[in-house]
Amino acid sequence: MSHSYEKEILTCTKAPKPIGPYSVAVKVGNLIFASGQLGLSPESGNLVEGGIQEQTRQVMENIQNILEENGASMGSIVKTTVFLKNMSDFGSFNEVYGGFFKNDPPARSTIQVAALPKDGLVEIEVIASADKK
């Protein structure tokens, strides 16, 4: 039995507009692949003021808005990939990140990178199920 899945481009009015040639998210079958989000304010398109915790909170709110506007939720996330500019921020990042996943957190990878767009401190991409709220 073979399956043919069409690629559906998703948008979000409450998340920052893409800053390059990519989609905010793509749905294939019952999976949503959300592009990496920085701590950008949807209104200004600039990084929020503050440090790792403020940027992480904004990243998570952007992800939440993308999922909710497209029929999913934070509880539907199955995998996150986290890019940190500095691994010494891991503890502070984790405090905020963990607040968004009280029960049954998703699988996760965390990687330190040399630099992020707009000199951000954190970027997170997610894979979520479109079937579960």
Residue 2 placed within a domain: no
Average of per-residue pLDDT values in the chain = 94
Q: Which residues of 3-34 are buried (b: 16+ CB within 10 A; e: fewer)?
A: eeeeeeebebeebbeeeeeeebbebeeebbbb
90 token code pair: 């891991």
- Comparing 92 with 131, the larger pLDDT belongs to 92
Residue 1's pLDDT is what? 55
Angle at 76 between CA 95 and CA 125, to 5 degrees: 60
**Overall number of domains in the chain:** 1
CA distances from 13 to 29, 48, 61, 67, 75 (A): 23, 18, 13, 11, 21
Residue 98 placed within a domain: yes
Residue 42's identity, in one-letter code, is P
Residue 1 placed within a domain: no
Residue 81 placed within a domain: yes
Residue 73's pLDDT is what? 95
Alpha-carbon span 67 to 79, nearest angstrom: 13
Residue 56 placed within a domain: yes
| CATH number (domain holding residue 42) | 3.30.1330.40
Residue 40's pLDDT is what? 97
Residue 84 placed within a domain: yes
pLDDT at 128 over 70: yes
Residue 5's pLDDT is what? 80
Residue 28 placed within a domain: yes
pLDDT tens, position by position, 56-86: 999 999 999 999 999 999 999 999 999 999 9
pLDDT at 132 over 90: no
Residue 96 placed within a domain: yes
Burial label for 1, CB within 10 Å (0-12, 13-18, 19+), is exposed
Residue range of the domain that includes 115 = 7-129
Stretch 29-56: mean pLDDT, rounded?
96
Residue 39's pLDDT is what? 97
